[in-house]
Amino acid sequence: MQVKKKAAKKTYKSSAKKKTVPSLKKMSVEELLAVMTENHAKTEAAIQKLSADLAESHVRMEARHAKTETAIQELSAENRLLAAEIKKTSAAVRELTRNMGGLNNSFGTLVEVVLIPKIRHDINALGNHSFKEIITKPESCRTW
């Protein structure tokens, strides 16, 4: 047996009142002209206010732009000074590195020329070692 479905009741309850267009009364040309003149005056006042606000915003923007440009110039000057300092520091580091390399070479030469020939006899005296000769290259040694 088939069951019939009940159709749902469509009810739309609205708490809002219906909007109606107010009835227009007949206006004379003079009254219409007065209303239009009043609206025009309000529009002109709003345009004047917006123009003044725009001009004021433009002045503030120009002042901020000038301040930003000044800050950029100061930073550029600082960057140039820092770049010069970095060049000086790099040159000093290169010079120091060159000097340290020379100092290490001097110690190496000192060990080769002075210490090694004399130490050979002491090590042989301890025993279990037999250093027969030590070859140093005199041309690699610096003169002091």
User: What is the structure's pLDDT at 98?
Assistant: 83
Q: Would 73 be classed as within a structural domain?
A: yes
- Judge whether 34 lies within some domain: yes
Enclosing domain of residue 135: 30-139
For residue 16, is it within any domain?
A: no
Query: Does residue 14 lie within any of the structural domains?
Result: no
d(CA 117, CA 113): 7
Number of domains observed in the structure of the chain: 1
pLDDT at 57: 96
Answer whether residue 46 is part of any domain.
yes
22 domain residue, yes or no = no
Instruction: Report the C-alpha gap between 15 and 32 in whole angstroms.
Output: 36
Ranges assigned E (strand) in the chain: none
**pLDDT profile of the chain (144 residues), mean per 10:** 61 56 66 90 95 96 96 94 94 87 74 72 72 61 49
pTM (2 d.p.): 0.40
Closest by CA position to 75, among listed 63, 86, 87, 83: 83
Domain assignment present for 40: yes
Distance CA 42, CA 33 (A): 14
